[in-house]
Amino acid sequence: MVRTRNRRGEGGKLRADSLAGARELVEQAGDPEAVTLRAVARQVGISAPSIYPHFADRAAIMDAIVDDAFADFNGAISAAIEQASGPVAQLRAGCAAYLRFAADRPNRYRLLFMRDPRATGDPARDLVPAVGKELALGPAPAIRTQSFAALVKSLQGCIEAGQSASTDPYLDSAAIWVALHGYATLHVLLPFFPWPDTDALLDRLVYGLARIAA
């Protein structure tokens, strides 16, 4: 609330503060619509017009926090994959981290895959056109497709190790993603539904859809 003016040359700090404020708003409200320019300003403790030297418009703020959420998400998943040893364990660890992220930080998960990409500021950075086969499998995936690329890579690792009978890792990765997303989404939207045990479901999804023998 109370904020002391930045010193000269340090005006850029307000950008980081604004992003932090926007992040807090998402966390508190659970609704990306709550991230209004004025709400961010209130959260940070500045006047609304002060945002403009740092963001072109409201869409630019949304875009930045979505990227921020993706970075967080990617970090959680790649950390889980790295900690596991062996291709099958890595695949499962990545998928488990996916569900854990959605369960632990539901309001950030909303930003990732529960918003219409058309609502984003810069359409060119949207998930829709960026997730084409070539890009997702390429060497330097964009931040919004990085984890999907990691999933494909994990499944390819299982195939190379002779532990998966999959003949199309891209297709089967998409199937796994769809199932994870359905579980994550409905968990977020309907938290009081008597859901089955996460680990048991995860086993069926991963091993079944990746064609891995139990």
What are the residues binding DNA (CB under 7 A)? 3, 5-14, 36-39, 46-50, 52-53, 57-59
Interface residue with a copy of itself, options 11, 30, 53, 86 (CB under 8 A): 30
Q: Which stretch binds a copy of itself (CB under 8 A): 46-54, 70-78, 97-105, 193-201?
A: 193-201
CB of 22 to a copy of itself, least distance (A): 19
Q: Which residues of 20-33 are buried (b: 16+ CB within 10 A; e: fewer)?
A: ebbbebbeeeeebe
d(CA 13, CA 54): 10
CB of 64 to DNA, least distance (A): 13
143 in contact with a copy of itself (CB under 8 A): no
Contact criterion met (CB below 8 Å) for 80 and 97: yes
- x-or-dash pattern for a copy of itself, window 106-125, by CB under 8 A? -------xx-xx--------
Cβ-based nearer residue to DNA, 56 or 186: 56
Interface residue with a copy of itself, options 61, 76, 174, 212 (CB under 8 A): 174
Query: At which residue do the structure tokens 């003949």 appear?
Result: 167
Q: Which residues of 93-121 are buried (b: 16+ CB within 10 A; e: fewer)?
A: bbbbbbbebbeebbbbbbbbbbeeeeebb
Interface residue with a copy of itself, options 48, 79, 165, 186 (CB under 8 A): 186
Please, what is the angle between helix 58-83 and helix 13-29, to 10°? 80
